[in-house]
Amino acid sequence: MLQDIDPEKISKVIYNGEVYSYQREENQHIKLYLEEIYPVLSNRLLESLEIDRPFKRIPNKYIPYWNEITSFYSTFLDTEEFKAIIPLNSKGFKQLREDKILQTKSNSNELRFGKDTGIEPKKDFLILGPYRPSNQPNVRLIFVYQKSDKKKYVAKLFSVLRDGLTHPQYGEQFPPMLRAIKQNFILEESAGIEFESPETAIDEIKQQLSVFDKKESTQYVALYVSPIRKDEKDHERLMLYYQVKELLLRRDITSQVIYRESLFKSAFRFYLPNIAIALLAKINGIPWRLDTDVTTDLVVGVGAFYSLTQNTKYIGSTFCFNNDGTFQGFNCHKANETDMLAGEISSAIMKFYVDNHKKAKRLIIHFYKKMSRKELQPIYEVLHNFKWEIPVIVITINKTISNDYVAFDLDSPNLMPKSGTILPIGTNQYLLFNNTRYSDSQSVNDNLFPIKLSFSASDEDLLGDLLMVKDLIDQVYQFSRMYWKSVRQQNLPVTIKYPEMAAEIYAFFQEGVPPFGTKNLWFL
């Protein structure tokens, strides 16, 4: 079983009915029985062996989880023999007292749009308009495409952007993009960057960009009509997506990628709201913001992406200078370059002071894992050098949803607790349920599991203030509402999600993120 597999790609194996960590030295004795060892298919191994693992969407994880847990409990744990060893709760589950169940503020899910507040971007964005249209007076959209796709696919996209999408029976399904994002722009079907084939695309795009005549005081957006799917298995062909993104960024051109076959699918009308909000954000508009009073917190978010092909972890950092969700800067680097993160925080501190003429009230770090002393020390040194004696609070936000701790609401048909429910699960640890079930009677399609939050601080006594901790959990909850890639609800805050998205693309760049890319939401 192991003879055709690179041993460096093997993480765990099964031998004699037990799971072993293959890379650990103390487990090497099992190699005496190589013919009886079976590798566990990790993501890395699936990638190496080019094995497809189709994505399976489970509409409600709570019900099957409940059924599996109760079945296991009644079969193996709720027995006289087991209870003689460990006397479990007679009900199996722990029933939390009402006073232990916390809730975010009633208005924490409210968003501010152009004309009013709302809570569902899916319907409110088009009705109420963006909170702030682009601050760019001049915007030009250019097409990047394979030459053979021009008449069919590029013409279709041009028509949808200019005229909207109309169904002969149901009428308008999406308005012209000008009306949707409240931005007049120049859209020329004939003006674009063409290439003959994916194999020659990079050389041709480079050549055309080298002579591309950009007009001053104009924001350019490239609409890349891709002939290659995002799940393409051929690595060389897949790399074209990242190479085109990087080439355009180096000419200060942000981009929106649209797979050509999507244009003629009936479901394309559902993609258009996502394209609209991402496009607006990329030209410095604000689709919506948090409906909350602005405070003087300096919030730093750090997310990570592990590249299976490069066997390297990359991290992206993003800075928010107040609690309304307005981001000012992004960057990416390798995970072991902790000094670079401290340097970025140093720049953020200077900018905060210049813009606000005062120091921040608190430095709040949203981190994708528990921060080590090595990672924190350079940040404390930066604060000391600036003579900023302010509290530093680190919130570890698990990238993966919590499934070791989960709770059920038996009054809900879907068993999912209401959005904004906060449950303490340990010392300075909490579950946050972040979904679209905003009322007790509401039934929803997306039944998201909770995320797990862990707190630490420069002064641990701060964490004894439950009102302050709850306020910070509220902030995490609200930042999940600032996701501008889709109108669908996300359970991770953008302080973790955005850096991860940027790092995922940056991992394939030949050079670092150019200055334009650190101020633009090109990765949406």
Do the Cβ atoms of 428 and 409 come closer than 8 Å? no
Give the pLDDT confidence of 347-359 residue by residue, as tens digits. Answer: 777 777 777 777 7
Does 143 lie in the same domain as 25? no
Which of 112, 113, 144 lies closest to 126, judged by CA?
Answer: 113
| Domain span at 27 | 7-49
Q: Which of 131-145, 152-166, 175-189, 438-452 has the lowest mean pLDDT?
A: 438-452
Mean pLDDT across 268-277: 92
**Longest Cα pair distance anywhere in the chain, in angstroms?**
81
**Over the chain, what is the mean pLDDT?**
84
Q: Name the domain boundary from 232, 249, 283.
A: 283
CATH of the domain at 211: 3.40.50.2300
Which of 423, 428, 422 lies closest to 463, judged by CA?
Answer: 428
Does 336 lie in the same domain as 250? no
Instruction: Give dist(CA 465, CA 29) in Å, integer.
Output: 51
Q: Is residue 121 part of a domain?
A: no
Residues 6+ positions from 515 with CB-CB distance below 8 Å: none
Mean pLDDT across 82-102: 84
Mean pLDDT across 257-274: 91
Which is it for strands 139-146 and 219-226: parallel, antiparallel or unpaired? Answer: parallel
Q: Which of 254-268, 337-351, 363-377 has the lowest mean pLDDT?
A: 337-351
pLDDT at 8 exceeding the cut of 80? no
Q: Which of 54-63, 85-94, 363-372, 513-522 has the lowest mean pLDDT?
A: 54-63
Does 210 lie in the same domain as 237? yes
Does 313 lie in the same domain as 254? no
Does 359 lie in the same domain as 271? no
| pLDDT category of residue 54 using cuts at 50, 70 and 90 | low
Q: Is residue 490 part of a domain?
A: yes
Q: Is residue 107 part of a domain?
A: no
SS3 422: strand
Does 256 lie in the same domain as 172? yes
Does 429 lie in the same domain as 371? yes
Number of domains comprising the chain: 4
Q: Is residue 521 part of a domain?
A: no
Which is it for strands 254-259 and 219-226: parallel, antiparallel or unpaired? Answer: parallel
Does 146 lie in the same domain as 183? yes
381 or 307: which leads in pLDDT: 381
pLDDT at 290 exceeding the cut of 90? no
Q: Is residue 1 part of a domain?
A: no
DSSP state of 284: T
Give the pLDDT confidence of 185-226 residue by residue, as tens digits. Answer: 888 766 789 999 999 999 999 999 999 888 888 999 999 999
| pLDDT category of residue 312 using cuts at 50, 70 and 90 | low
The position carrying tokens 């949406």 is 524
Which helix (H) or strand (E) element contains residue 198?
A: none
| pLDDT category of residue 497 using cuts at 50, 70 and 90 | confident
| pLDDT category of residue 423 using cuts at 50, 70 and 90 | very high
Share of the chain residues as helix, strand and coil, in percent rounded to the nearest 5: 35, 25, 40
Q: Is residue 120 part of a domain?
A: no
Does 67 lie in the same domain as 33? no
Mean pLDDT across 436-445: 75
Q: Which of 45-54, 64-73, 205-214, 290-299 has the lowest mean pLDDT?
A: 45-54
pTM above 0.75, yes or no: yes
Mean pLDDT across 164-175: 85
Mean pLDDT across 43-69: 75
User: Which range has the top average pLDDT, 42-46, 271-275, 440-444?
Assistant: 271-275
Q: Is residue 503 part of a domain?
A: yes
Count of C-beta atoms within a 10 Å radius of residue 181:
27
Does 350 lie in the same domain as 271? no
121 alpha carbon, distance to own chain's centre: 17
Q: Which of 58-67, 135-144, 332-341, 419-428 has the lowest mean pLDDT?
A: 332-341
Does 344 lie in the same domain as 479? yes
Terminus-to-terminus CA distance in the chain, angstroms?
A: 41
Q: Is residue 102 part of a domain?
A: no
Instruction: Give dist(CA 193, CA 147) in Å, integer.
Output: 9
CATH of the domain at 352: 3.30.420.10
Which of 298, 306, 311 lies closest to 345, judged by CA?
Answer: 298
pLDDT at 243 exceeding the cut of 80? yes
Does 494 lie in the same domain as 379? yes
Mean pLDDT across 473-502: 87
pLDDT at 308 exceeding the cut of 60? no
pLDDT of residue 348: 76
pLDDT of residue 309: 59
